[in-house]
Structure 1
Amino acid sequence: MNCGLQWVFRLKRHSDGTIARYKGRLVVKGYLQEAGIDFHETFSPVVKPTTIRVVLALAHSGQNLVCRLKKALYGLKQAPRAWGAAVCPCIRDDIIVTGNHQGSIDAFVTSLDTQFSLKDLGPLNYFLGVEVEHTTDGIFLSQRKYIQDLLKQACMDQAKGSPTPMTTSTNLSQHVGSAIENESDYRSIVGALQYVVITRPDITFAINKVCQFMHRPLDQHFKAVKRILRYLQSTMKYGLHFTTTISLDLVGFSDANWGTDVDDRRSTTGFCVFLGGNSVAWGTKKQHVVSRSTAEAEYHSLAHTATEVVWLVSLLSKLHIAPSKKATIWCDNSGAVAVSANPVLHSKFKHVELDLFFVREKITVGKLDVGHVPTQDQVADIFTKPLSASLFTKFHSSLNVVTRREQKAVIKQLEAY
């Protein structure tokens, strides 16, 4: 008899591939449910990866935070919470409990355990495919096992490596190329690659680009995906290194690549934000409108970065953390920097009026500053276009994407500004 339920059995493994435990779960067959009858809510809040990175960066920034991993055995669906000195980011049923006072952490866990059955998995070292390794001056986040499994799934585990995830001559279009038979394979691999971006900001632009062709992938798009996989094959030991720092300044970099999409001539926004010299937020996004100038495209990107910085300031305030000084966003377009604080130039930017007033308001009330950075020091350049091997290596090192053996100091560019 079909009761709408099914047992799912899995092997949970450690980061080295050894068996951690046998797991069985009774799940509901979602495709048999009817809205309003079998369920009412279709949205379950899940913590943003940026929040996890912020918490881990704070835990190794002189805040004396202690991280432990808990697992809720049933019923936990809440978004991240802060309780006294304890912070609780939740991802499905995995909970990272952290705080600077052991007594508050113990009290929080005891209170939570009265409502949900918890299992103590010990100090944070492996969660949801992310490996956490403690170093002499911070922590190292990587997804080596996840990448290995993905390469095996794509039959690319023996492929020759490549120095960059995308060549500088790559110019993908939805109209150039031949149809492929295995469209589902393309979507499956690209979907899995999106998860790697959690600890690998260096592949963000390439992943964003191939994601734009999920509806109808062509052979040229699949070729670009294989290039990304070959790059991961050669950089499997790379990960995100958070260094110990006392300063908790927020510094953002904003960039745009004007009109580069050959299909609709929209521009690409790229940004990254550092907390105390550690990269905690980044992204690549195709802009929603066609920009009529480089300055306009840059200003759209600047407004997007400002939104992310303002959100991070709000998150830090909820965690009772105050940055030591006003947040700063660096942009390499002098026109966009000038108009952000100069109302005289307003008439030249009426077509971006909402973004104009949003950024200017944040500057006026003292929440952030906008400054000019030379193009050769624009870290966000890696999020807007394919780069040469030398530039790519320079910028991904600035993002603290390194190997386990490399111990990087605080980003040199941030010290200069």
Structure 2
Amino acid sequence: MPSCEMMLHLFFDNNVIIDLLNNKYVIAKLNKKFALKDMGDLHYFLGIQVTRTCDGGLVLTQQKYVGEVSKKAGMVGCASCHTPLPSTVKISALGGSSFYDPKLYRSIIGSLQYLTITRPEICYSVNKLSQFVQAPLDCHWRMVKRVLRYLSGTASYGLHIKQDSSMGVTAYSDSDWAGDPDDRKSTSGYCVFLGSNLISWASKKQSAVARSSTEAEYRSMADAVAELIWVKTMMSELLYPSPEAPMLYCDNLSAVLLAANPILHSKSKHFEIDLHFVRDHVNNKEIQVSHIPGSVQLADILTKAIPSESFLHFRAKLSVHDQQLIAGSQNCSSSTE
């Protein structure tokens, strides 16, 4: 469980944090609800290294853990690559020979899932490869090794949490329609920002086949709206409500119009529950929905394997940076264990 100070950094500006952390009364009140122990500044927790920056921010990395996973897979000293998966790859559960050690495959996949805590850009790759743990093939293991090569070359990268006075909540949702070559199910992805900080993200395969790209996008939008409602409620419980309705960005114009236009209702009965769920929150002005071009759709990195140029651009937008470069550019000494 993250320290009290780390959680406060996510939701309050620097002056408020100083007042709260110096207030013994607040700590005492929190201690009545939660078991707290002041262990000083956070440096290392459950495989996550915490580096402080001079501007009061944090960089969360798992460099040591990446090394342990690479060693387990026999990939120490491997050549690096720019992306977790090739943009042209179509991973299938059919064809090819069975992998000789399914137990090793499952173990590495489990470790990669833990790495997504600080590395949101590998969520799609890990989600996709997790779908074959029951009967992995040699081609699946080659893709796992590709992900490990990417991580080995970017082991010092992590999630950068910055000081930000903005408390606005924004989200991006996207889908890859019928992207699975085996069952033609789509992949949903979304990411949620508090100010400029990434606080929530997901990549998952949809449970039903979408009959159109609009349906796939709308189902992804419904997942994002559910997450936004949860974040909004949590902020209210922390007595720091969002100043305005969260904004959700989607690159499918039909899905955006469908959120507020009942005329298309007759064409959308096969996903009617999601339709009304999103529309109710939009009509009640609890959520705002807006269209954006696909070129700036950050959630694209969570739904498919994309070319390296786009991948590197979106990775930076998700606030995944090299902790060594951040500390060096600010002439700030890092604290890691």
Give the TM-score taking structure 2 as reference length. 0.91
Please, which of 246, 258, 263 is the counterpart of residue 344 of structure 1? 263
User: Once the two structures are superposed, what CA deviation does each residue of 1:174-219 show, in whole Å capped at 9, x if it has no partner?
Assistant: 1122112211000001001100000000100000000000100000
Q: Secondary structure at the match of 1:341?
A: coil
Please, which of 233, 242, 266 is the counterpart of residue 152 of structure 2? 233
In structure 2, the CA distance between the partners of 1:385 and 1:135, relative to structure 1 (3 Å rule), is same
CA contact (8 A) 1:125 1:131 kept: yes
Query: Aligned partners of 1:55 and 1:259: how far apart in 2?
Result: 41
Supply the AA of the counterpart residue of 1:127: F
Alpha-carbon offset, residue 57 of structure 1: 1.7
Query: Aligned partners of 1:368 and 1:188: how far apart in 2?
Result: 40
Alpha-carbon offset, residue 319 of structure 1: 1.1
Question: 2:23 matched to which residue of 1?
Answer: 102
Query: Aligned partners of 1:52 and 1:177: how far apart in 2?
Result: 50
Question: 2:181 matched to which residue of 1?
Answer: 262
Residues 1:124 and 2:42 aligned together: yes
In structure 2, the CA distance between the partners of 1:54 and 1:372, relative to structure 1 (3 Å rule), is farther
Greater C-alpha radius of gyration: 1
Supply the AA of the counterpart residue of 1:292: R
CA contact (8 A) 1:58 1:65 kept: no
Residues 1:210 and 2:129 aligned together: yes
Alpha-carbon offset, residue 153 of structure 1: 1.5
Query: Aligned partners of 1:362 and 1:398: how far apart in 2?
Result: 27
Residues 1:379 and 2:331 aligned together: no
Runs of 4+ in structure 1 displaced over 3 angstroms? 51-56, 108-113, 405-408
* More displaced stretch, 370-379 vs 316-325: 316-325
Alpha-carbon offset, residue 279 of structure 1: 0.6
Question: 2:91 matched to which residue of 1?
Answer: 172
Q: Secondary structure at the match of 2:98?
A: coil
Q: Secondary structure at the match of 1:223?
A: helix
Query: Aligned partners of 1:110 and 1:206: how far apart in 2?
Result: 40
Alpha-carbon offset, residue 65 of structure 1: 2.5
Alpha-carbon offset, residue 406 of structure 1: 4.3
Please, which of 48, 52, 55 is the counterpart of residue 134 of structure 1? 52
Q: Secondary structure at the match of 1:366?
A: coil
Q: Secondary structure at the match of 1:65?
A: helix
User: Structure 1 stretches of 5 or more lacking a match?
Assistant: 1-46, 67-84, 86-98, 409-417
**1:217-296 alignment, distance < 5 Å:** 217-296=136-215
CA contact (8 A) 1:63 1:100 kept: no
In structure 2, the CA distance between the partners of 1:100 and 1:322, relative to structure 1 (3 Å rule), is farther
Question: 2:108 matched to which residue of 1?
Answer: 189
**1:62-73 alignment, distance < 5 Å:** 62=14, 64-65=16-17
Supply the AA of the counterpart residue of 1:216: A
Query: Aligned partners of 1:262 and 1:376: how far apart in 2?
Result: 24
In structure 2, the CA distance between the partners of 1:279 and 1:53, relative to structure 1 (3 Å rule), is farther
Alpha-carbon offset, residue 52 of structure 1: 10
Q: 1 or 2, which has the higher strand percentage?
A: 1
